[in-house]
Amino acid sequence: MALIIWISFTYLDAKASSALKKSSRYRSRSLSASSTDSYSSASCTGSSSEDDDISPREKVQKNSSGNFDFCVRNINQHAFGRREIEIAEQEMPGIMALRKRAADDKPLKNAKIVGCTHINAQTAVLIETLAALGANVRWAACNIYSTQNEVASALAEAGFSIFAWRGETEEDFWWCIDKCVNADNWQPNMILDDGGDATHLMLKKYPAMFKMIKGIVEESVTGVHRLYQLSKAGKLTVPAMNVNDSVTKTKYDNLYSCRESIIDSLKRSTDLMFGGKQVVICGYGEVGKGCSQALKGLGCVVYVTEIDPICALQASMDGNRVVKLNEVIRNVDIVITATGNKNVVTREHMDKMKNGCIVCNMGHSNTEIDVNNLRTPDLTWEKVRSQVDHVIWPDGKRIILLAEGRLVNLSCSSLPSFVVSITSATQALALIELFNAPAGRYKSDVYLLPKKMDEYVASLHLPTFDAHLTELTDEQAKYMGLNKAGPFKPNYYRY
């Protein structure tokens, strides 16, 4: 029964979200106008393939090798998907370097991985890398809307057992995951999950099979939260790795990405001019820091609100005025939330904003702006562009609400493939670590990626910047008490 409740929740969640089911800061290219780093590609065809009325489950399809252990929208779209994958390969230097370096070692030889993630060109690069490292995989989508059908076809054509298409029903969704878990001659020993659905299904429906798993790698905030709950409840019987909080990934997901995407989101949605604008940023964590840095670089005056005195002191030392929201709300041109909290910007605040004020959310949830209290009879909503609403007060005052208070950078900008490359490399290394760890290194608990692996992910991406690492001499390593290959910092190091 718990399963059914969960399913309903997931299903509704999936329906409600126009983009992503999980709260991870992730948006695949197929969901956006574009999200390439340097190479760009036509992505408009993603939707064109949904012309087909017959459910993929009812179709009989074979790839050109005669294989039919997959279920995708249309196997014939594989060529376009392959080109997309090839372009993505060029944009993901880290994971490709890993593929090349580890290809001989085959560190995932004998690994049998059930994967459940978004399926798009970048994921395909990950999947094919895992295979190149020796793994067998079966893969389903973690979201009923996010599959890039052509890419799924290309993977199927290449011989992968893919079960995913854009526009699955709730039932399809679980059927697909089930097909990945439960197949002939197939005892999976690893799970790569994004949201916890594959873990959940296997644990509930195939508990015996679940006990044979050597490790779980989970990427999303939601999935990690579920794992910690399972662990607390004593129900986690295998080691799991939380890759969501590894240093390199976190910095890219928050500081570096947001530094760029706040600019991009505001520009694309409102075409405003940044110079001289007054901006208040609620929250001065990594996201707030990134936003402040970028906006000041373009000539904004930045105010910050904080609840944590340490972060407030940081904001001061970085040249931001730390205020309570009410002190500046009548004067600012832009309000950005980045707290992870709820009702940070209330209706009362919005009543005081000046005409034309832009309000958007860069935080972790869509609760930061109290949008519900804007949906009242006295206010008029006018959609002026996709993701841009004018909310009009009786006196004619308009505030400009972006993405209806959801994460504006997911809705109004794109995610560079480079960031996805960091995440993918982290996932792959976590799989390698768990799969190869000597008995006893990991117990049935949730772990962070070992710092040395984190450092390795970083090192895979340095060539992109033509960055040259210095090596410790023997004498220096001894002096510092360090291994020359790392790790180089204690676990509590703050970077």
57 vs 296, which CB is nearer to a second copy?
Answer: 296
* Spatial distance between the Cα atoms of 432 and 436, rounded to a whole number of angstroms: 6
* Spatial distance between the Cα atoms of 182 and 201, rounded to a whole number of angstroms: 11
57 vs 352, which CB is nearer to a second copy?
Answer: 352
At its nearest, how many Å lie between a second copy and the CB of residue 316?
4
Q: Is the Cβ–Cβ distance between 27 and 34 less than 8 Å?
A: no
Residue 50, marked binder: no
Q: In three state form, how does the secondary structure of 2-47 look? A: HHHHHHHHHHHHHHHCCCCCCCCCCCCHHHCCCCCCCCCCCCCHHH
Residue 287, marked binder: yes
At its nearest, how many Å lie between a second copy and the CB of residue 153?
20
Residue 289, marked binder: yes
Q: Look at the block and give the residue holding tokens 């600012």.
A: 332
Residue 290, marked binder: yes
H-assigned helices in 138-212: 149-157, 170-181, 197-205, 207-211
Q: Look at the block and give the residue holding tokens 């790795």.
A: 241
At its nearest, how many Å lie between a second copy and the CB of residue 204?
27
At its nearest, how many Å lie between a second copy and the CB of residue 202?
29
Residue 409, marked binder: yes
Q: Reading across the β-sheet that carries 112-117, which strands appear in turn?
A: 161-163, 136-141, 112-117, 190-193, 215-218, 240-242, 446-448
DSSP state of 328: H
Find all residues with CB under 8 Å of 4, minimum gap 6, and list them: none
At its nearest, how many Å lie between a second copy and the CB of residue 120?
14
Q: Is the Cβ–Cβ distance between 290 and 265 less than 8 Å?
A: no
At its nearest, how many Å lie between a second copy and the CB of residue 374?
17
Residue 288, marked binder: yes
227 vs 263, which CB is nearer to a second copy?
Answer: 263
At its nearest, how many Å lie between a second copy and the CB of residue 68?
33
Q: Is the Cβ–Cβ distance between 483 and 475 less than 8 Å?
A: no
199 vs 248, which CB is nearer to a second copy?
Answer: 248
239 prior amide bond cis, ω within 30: no
190 vs 258, which CB is nearer to a second copy?
Answer: 258
* Spatial distance between the Cα atoms of 302 and 321, rounded to a whole number of angstroms: 7
17 vs 270, which CB is nearer to a second copy?
Answer: 270
415 vs 431, which CB is nearer to a second copy?
Answer: 415
H-assigned helices in 341-462: 347-352, 408-412, 417-436, 451-461
Q: Is the Cβ–Cβ distance between 408 and 360 less than 8 Å?
A: yes
166 vs 349, which CB is nearer to a second copy?
Answer: 349
At its nearest, how many Å lie between a second copy and the CB of residue 339?
9
Q: Look at the block and give the residue holding tokens 């960091």.
A: 422
The annotated binding site for NAD(+) is made up of 285-290, 306, 409
Binding-site residue ranges:
285-290, 306, 409
